[in-house]
Structures are given as C-alpha cells and as structure tokens.
Structure 1
Amino acid sequence: MTHAQANPATPELVERGGARIAWIRSRMALLAGLRGEFRRTRPFAGRRIGVSLHVEPKTAVLLEVLAEGGAEIVGTGNHGSTQDDVVAFLQSQGIGIFGRRADSLADHHANLARVLDARPDMLLDNGADLASGIVERGRAASILGGTEETTSGGDRLRGELAGKVPFPSIVINDSPLKAIGENKHAVGQSVVESFMRITNLMIPGRRFCVIGYGWCGRGIAQYLRALGGRVAIVEIDEIKALEAALDGYRVAPLADLAPWAEVFITATGRAGVLPAQAVAVMQDGAVLANSGHFPWEIDTEGLNAMTTSATDLDGTLRRLDLANGRHVILVAEGRMFNLAGVEPKGNSIESMDIGFMLQALSLERVARAEGLVGGAQPVPDDINRRIARLMMATMGAAL
C-alpha cells in the first residue's frame, strides 16, 4: 500500500472522528430529513459516485446520506485539508474515502487517480479535478453526470474544459443559496475565525486588504469590519467595485493598498491576483492569506524567488525574509486557510447543511436524468426554492 493510500485507523482515531461527526450530524436538520427520504427511495442504487471534496465532519454527513440512498462511494479529500479522524470513521462504516492530512501534492494526485481507477459513473467534484481527469483519460462518455462545488471548478468547466464535458455538471456555486449562505456568511465567518485562531492577532484597528468582492469577498469584508477591522477592497469589475464603494469600503488598486494594509486576503478563485511585485512594497511583517480553493491566488513561486531565508513558525505560519530587508508571513503555504491549522472548523454547520442539500438533491436529479443538458449548468430553480423553504422553517421564519 502506497503512502497516498495508507491511513492507519486506530480505534482511538475512529472514536474521535465518530464523536465529532455525531455533533455535526445532530445539527444538520435538512440532511437528517433527506436521509430518511433517500433510505426509502434509493435514488443512487447501483451507482458509484467518485468524490473529491474537503473531508471534514460536515462532509461525512453528506456522504452518509448518499450511502443511505444506495450510492457506493469512492473518493478522497482535497490537498492539505483532509482530517484523518473523519477518514478513519468513514472507513469503519464502509464508506470508501481515503487520503491523509500529511499527503504531499504528489500523494494527492495519486489519490485522485485512484478515484478515477475505480471507474465511477457519477462525480461529486471540487475544483473540477475529477472532471479534468476523466477527460484526459477519454472516459467522459462513461459519466452519467455530477456536481461541481466551487467557483474555481465552474471556471474550469466553462474555460479549459468547455466542450469537452458531454455529461451534465451542476455547479453548486451558481446557486443563490450557496452565494448567500455559504460564500458570504459562512466563508466570511470562517475566514475571520481562522485568522484569529491561526495568527492570534487582534482585528480591531488592523488594516485589511480583501482582494475580490464577489460573494466570498463581501462576507470576509463584512465580518472583518463588524469586529473593528479597517477594510479596503481590490476589485477589477466595475460594478462590484462600485458596490464595495457604496458599502463604505475604501476601493483602490493593489499598487496603492500594498504599502497600506497589514493583512492581505485573496478571495477570487483566479491565479496570480496577489503578485510578487506587490509583495515587494508591502510593509514589514505583512500577512498573506488565501481563501480560494486552489493555492494559486498568491504568487508563491515569485515570492519564493524573492526570499533569502524562510522559517516555519508553527506549521501553519511561515516567515519569509525578503531581499529588500523586510519579511512577510505566509499562511498555510498559500492554500485555503479556513481549513488549515490546529482544529480547523471551516464553514458553519448550518451553511453546509444548505450547501450539502444542494449537492444531494442535484446528484439525485442527475441520477434520475431529469431535464438536464451536457456541460456546466446551474442548480435547478425548484431545488433552490425547496431548500430555502426548508431552511426558513428550521429558523422559525416564513414567507
């Protein structure tokens, strides 16, 4: 068994994972209701779902629900965010998830290949890694369809993979429910919580530059300001930039904000939005963090070329001493930092209850082959509205 496949599941690890998942499961009311429905209807009977998704306790509840619906699961986590106790518990329940927190990038790629080797007929994808691999192997025609979780994955499906994916791929990130509940409020909350937990720095009075004013950027800016942060926005889209200005934020080019801000947080899903030349003029001790799915928003290659020495501070923070005599702090090596560090929590339970209901019902729609076309497409409107009504009911709200 290779390093990428190994994941020794001690009884203690299984017990810890089970206890954490039990707490999460008890607070995901939407998925609890769907679990009973899927147990009766078995929409995934005879289906093998290939999974590439952050493996943490909330993900485990989704996978349990899909398994209750008859799915055979074979999957892995995303690089750097897998939680070993969750994997151990899922394996103990016969759910085929593998990978480790300590996996290298090469191990992660081997894990993805292992998922594809199992020849799934449906995909639950994050960043379009599985979809890309299926296309490369010439097996796209064998896939019934699937879902894609992220902005980054949706961009790949509509960009480099456009016209190459004949099967329907429902982009969960296109749902207004995900935009509002998960991206704005949950990412906003989890990024701020993670910044405080990982750095132990104070937010009130600190100068933050948020790069990107999409739904995630809006939420990050809102939650930072709510705790007393001084927030500025970098945005290239005229309408979003105007919105940020009307929301009361300073809006300026990165070249103007680089010497001003103390903390930089990227939230775009696009490569190279925080280039090395901007780092060169930052003040001494600036903190660099990325909230996007892929570790490409911060130009870490260019940053490394400017670095004369580097020091790991605690496993998540890395001090980079630059040739100009200053230093910066890079969080989580430029990976998505709200699932990094000790005891990462990620997005809130309730937001992922909504998000994973979108996943489960969209996968059910794919399995039933109802009214879908090939390629990337949004979540069907009736699914959005059904989940909105259910969530309002759990909150004691009504139309």
Structure 2
Amino acid sequence: MNTTRESIVKDMSLAPSGHLKIDWVKEHMPVLNRIREKFEQEKPFAGLKVSISLHLEAKTAYLAKVVQAGGAQVTITGSNPLSTQDDVCAALVEDGIQVFAKYNPDPAEYKSHFIKTLETRPDLIIDDGGDLVSILHSERQDLLEQVRGGAEETTTGILRLKALEKSGNLKFPMVAVNDAFCKYLFDNRYGTGQSVWDGINRTTNLVVAGKTVVVVGYGWCGKGVAMRAKGLGAKVVVTEIDAIKGVEAYMDGFEVMSMEEAAKVGDYFVTVTGNKDVIRGEHMAVMKDGAILSNAGHFDVEVNKVELAELSTSKRTVRKDIEEYQLKDGRKIYLLAEGRLVNLAAGDGHPAEIMDMTFALQAVSLAYVNEKYKELGNKVVNVPYELDEQVARFKLEALGIKIDHLTEEQREYLDSWTE
C-alpha cells in the first residue's frame, strides 16, 4: 500500500488503467459534461472543501472531477469495502484529488478512511448511506462546525437522515437526491435492474431463464430487478410488507406471497428493502438445495449471515464472490458478494448513462445547498423541481430528442378555473 500526496491508496502504478476507465465513462455522461462546463465558468465551490463518500469506481471518480472543476478541494473515500476500484483511486490521486480508499480493507482501516476524509474539515459533503453524516453526529462532532450541508444518494441514507432530523439532532441541511424524479425513476429502476443482473450473471455464470426469482421488496429498485428478471425469462415472485405495493406487483404480472412461502420455491433471491433480516434462518431452513442469495440494499444486513452460519457445518469460497454454505441436512446455499451490494461488489454498478443523471443531480444539488444553506434549515430537503427538470432536459438534448411546449393559450386554460 502506498501513501501518496497525503492520500492512502493501494498502488499508484495502477493509475493508467484507472484513467482509461474514467475517460470511458466521461464519453458516456453528456449531462455531467454539461454541468462541468457550467462549473468551470462559474466556480460555485471556489475556496471550499468537499468530502465525498460513494462507491469508488469510474463514474464516481468523474463526479469528483466535476466538483473539482467547480473550484473545490475534493477528498473522497469509498462507501463499500468491496466496490472500491484501486486503479481508479490511483488515477484520482494523479488528478489532484485526495483519496482514502482501497479494495477490501479490514473493518478498522475502512472506518479510518471515513475519519480521514472528514478530518479535512469539509464545507460540503456528498454521502451514500449516511456514513459521513452518522460519524459527524456521533463520534466526531468536533468536525461539525464548518459543514454547510450536503447531498445524500440512497434510500437507506435518507431513512437515517430523516430519523436524525426527527430526533432534532440534524445539524445541517441535506438534499435528498434519492427522492428526485431523475434518480428513482431511472437510477433505482433501470440502473439497479440492469446492474444487479450484470453482477449476478457474471458471478454465477448460470442461466436465469426458467428459474424462479424472488424479489424481496417492490420499491423502485425492486421493480427494476423484477422487470429485468422477467426479461431474462424467469418466473418472478415478489414479497412485500406494504399492501399497496403488493397489489402493484400483482397488477404488474408477478406472483406475490410471503417470504415463508417464497423461500420454498426460489432459485435466486434478491433483497432490495433497506431493512435488516428480511431473509432469516427460518426461511433458509426451507430453501431449495442450491438456492442463491444476493442483496442489492446498501448494507450487508438484509440476509442474516449469522443465522445462515448457524445452520451450516462449513463454508468455503467456490468461485470469486460466491460463498457456499454446507447446511447440516446436506443442502447447499450460496451467498453472493458476502451479502453486500451485488451490483457493485460483484460488478461495475449502474450503467454510465444512468449515473449521468444521478451524478448531475448530485452536482447541482451540492451547488444549491451551498448557495441556500443559511435559509434551508437543519433538515432533509428535496431537490428543487427546476433542477430535476433541468437534468431531464439536458438528457433529452443529449439524446437529440425534442418535446413539445405549452402555448400561451394552453397555459391560460390550465391556470383558469372557468371554461
């Protein structure tokens, strides 16, 4: 491991490979390129420090460079120990961005990277899963004073932020990027749908067609996973705790049942709830021999690994990112990517064109909170619709698509209560 320019990365000699990856995604992120041009002219972050915690691969790296182009001094770390790409980290260091990250660090080192990222005393943060915010509000409150606010990427992170706000302890405004239309309609649905199956298929090299896929949770991510499983020829079962989403899944053509029932029929299981222990010991006890478990939620808590180990006599790695659990009754259950995000820990994450919109939202939201932080208050705030719509407009322009606009007469008609 090399420590270079006050950064901690695995190997600086990997930088050329990282540059190639970043150059590739840049070519496929036209909306973010448009934002970068704007930032280069206006320098909204001039003189400010920005700390970022996201899955540290090429698309995230390009976001960091866009924020840097806006005048910021950028420090970045990974938001998952298995999604960090060491060559990308090295490339960022060469580009003048401070990095504290490497692939698969031990838990103490992983935690230390968050701390070091915050010890730069940032003015603004971009968070994924609420890790930076959590540390700032618990063990490192001494670093809170300078933080103006930030933006949060994920469903899980927003849940944590809203709990913090509800308790009255949130100390600065955070923009809920995950709740923006251009995030959940495209990133959560189409991005997760494709990248989850990219990760599962490249890891297992097994057929999906004809098998039963159990999708645990039918939020926007679950909808995408179910849709893509159906496209691959699977029979899809959805489990839910929300009656409305259960009806929605049924109307979308999927079988809906409890996890107790679904556990008996599934070949593949994908958890996308943001909650813990949604697959537990009693479910594993009735699963088919050879069942494959995977998770697409932020933390590795959705599959209860402790109870899986308790049911087992042995565990071994049978293929990269596949752990085989030999159960006491002779069955085998396979867990992908240690129960961490399968699309990132065992794949490259969402397609670049999808993350183009999400990271454009992150960039403009960060500029928004920097401009408005004094009046936003210490709460979770939505991405303004104008910014959401602007990102969509840039995307359509990049695709060469034109849409209609209201005439003045139509505007007057919609604004009037008379005929």
Q: TM-score, normalised by structure 2?
A: 0.91
The answer as to 2:153 corresponding to 1:149 is yes
Hey, what's the Cα distance between the residues in 1 that align with 2:358 and 2:24? 18
Contact 1:280–1:324 at 8 Å: present in 2 too? no
Please name the residue that 2:97 is paired with. 95
Equivalent position to 2:372, from 369, 372, 387: 369
Please name the residue that 1:304 is paired with. 309
Letter paired with 2:31: L
1:6–1:145 Cα change, 3 Å? closer
Hey, what's the Cα distance between the residues in 2 that align with 1:74 and 1:131? 15
Please name the residue that 1:355 is paired with. 358
Please name the residue that 2:253 is paired with. 248
Letter paired with 2:66: V
Please name the residue that 2:18 is paired with. 17
What secondary structure sits across from 1:204 in the alignment? coil
The answer as to 2:200 corresponding to 1:199 is no
1:154-233 map, 5 Å: 154-160=158-164, 162=166, 163-233=168-238
Please name the residue that 2:264 is paired with. 259
1:311–1:8 Cα change, 3 Å? closer
Hey, what's the Cα distance between the residues in 2 that align with 1:6 and 1:131? 22
Letter paired with 1:267: V
Hey, what's the Cα distance between the residues in 1 that align with 2:297 and 2:7? 26
Task: For structure 1, list consecutive stretches of 5 or more residues without a partner in the other structure.
Answer: none
Contact 2:274–2:302 at 8 Å: present in 1 too? yes
Please name the residue that 1:120 is paired with. 122
Letter paired with 1:366: V
Give the superposition deviation at 1:244: 0.2
Contact 2:7–2:99 at 8 Å: present in 1 too? no
Give the superposition deviation at 1:292: 0.8
Deviations 1:74-116 (A, max 9, x none): 1211221100000000001110122111212221111111112
Please name the residue that 1:65 is paired with. 66
Give the superposition deviation at 1:315: 2.9
The answer as to 2:85 corresponding to 1:80 is no
> Please, which moves more after superposition, 199-208 or 321-330?
321-330
Hey, what's the Cα distance between the residues in 2 that align with 1:265 and 1:213? 11
Please name the residue that 2:144 is paired with. 140
1:45-56 map, 5 Å: 45-56=46-57
Please name the residue that 2:113 is paired with. 111
Please name the residue that 1:321 is paired with. 326
Letter paired with 2:185: I
What secondary structure sits across from 2:210 in the alignment? coil
Deviations 1:309-331 (A, max 9, x none): 00111230000011232110000
Deviations 1:146-188 (A, max 9, x none): 0110000000011256321121100111111111110000110
Contact 2:59–2:355 at 8 Å: present in 1 too? yes
1:29–1:329 Cα change, 3 Å? same
Contact 2:280–2:304 at 8 Å: present in 1 too? yes
Letter paired with 2:267: E
Letter paired with 2:180: S
Give the superposition deviation at 1:340: 2.3
Give the superposition deviation at 1:273: 1.1
Give the superposition deviation at 1:24: 0.7
Contact 2:214–2:269 at 8 Å: present in 1 too? yes
Query: Across the two proteins, how many residue pairs are aligned to each other?
Result: 396
Hey, what's the Cα distance between the residues in 2 that align with 1:114 and 1:301? 31
Contact 1:319–1:328 at 8 Å: present in 2 too? yes
Q: CA RMSD in A?
A: 1.6
Contact 1:171–1:376 at 8 Å: present in 2 too? yes
Give the superposition deviation at 1:373: 2.9
Hey, what's the Cα distance between the residues in 2 that align with 1:297 and 1:2? 34
The answer as to 2:340 corresponding to 1:335 is yes
Give the superposition deviation at 1:349: 0.8
Contact 2:197–2:228 at 8 Å: present in 1 too? yes
Give the superposition deviation at 1:140: 3.4
Contact 1:308–1:321 at 8 Å: present in 2 too? yes
Hey, what's the Cα distance between the residues in 1 that align with 2:201 and 2:83? 18
What secondary structure sits across from 2:52 in the alignment? strand
Contact 1:141–1:167 at 8 Å: present in 2 too? no
1:283–1:50 Cα change, 3 Å? same
Task: For structure 2, list consecutive stretches of 5 or more residues without a partner in the other structure.
Answer: 404-419
Contact 2:9–2:99 at 8 Å: present in 1 too? no
Please name the residue that 1:295 is paired with. 300
Contact 2:214–2:238 at 8 Å: present in 1 too? yes
Give the superposition deviation at 1:394: 1.6
Give the superposition deviation at 1:5: 6.5
Letter paired with 1:228: G
Give the superposition deviation at 1:142: 3.0
Give the superposition deviation at 1:285: 0.8
Hey, what's the Cα distance between the residues in 2 that align with 1:385 and 1:374? 25
What secondary structure sits across from 1:142 in the alignment? coil
Contact 1:289–1:331 at 8 Å: present in 2 too? yes
Identity of aligned residues (%): 37
Hey, what's the Cα distance between the residues in 2 that align with 1:160 and 1:325? 45
> Please, which moves more after superposition, 363-372 or 374-383?
363-372
Give the superposition deviation at 1:2: 9.3
Give the superposition deviation at 1:8: 4.0
Equivalent position to 2:131, from 111, 129, 132: 129
Hey, what's the Cα distance between the residues in 2 that align with 1:193 and 1:133? 32
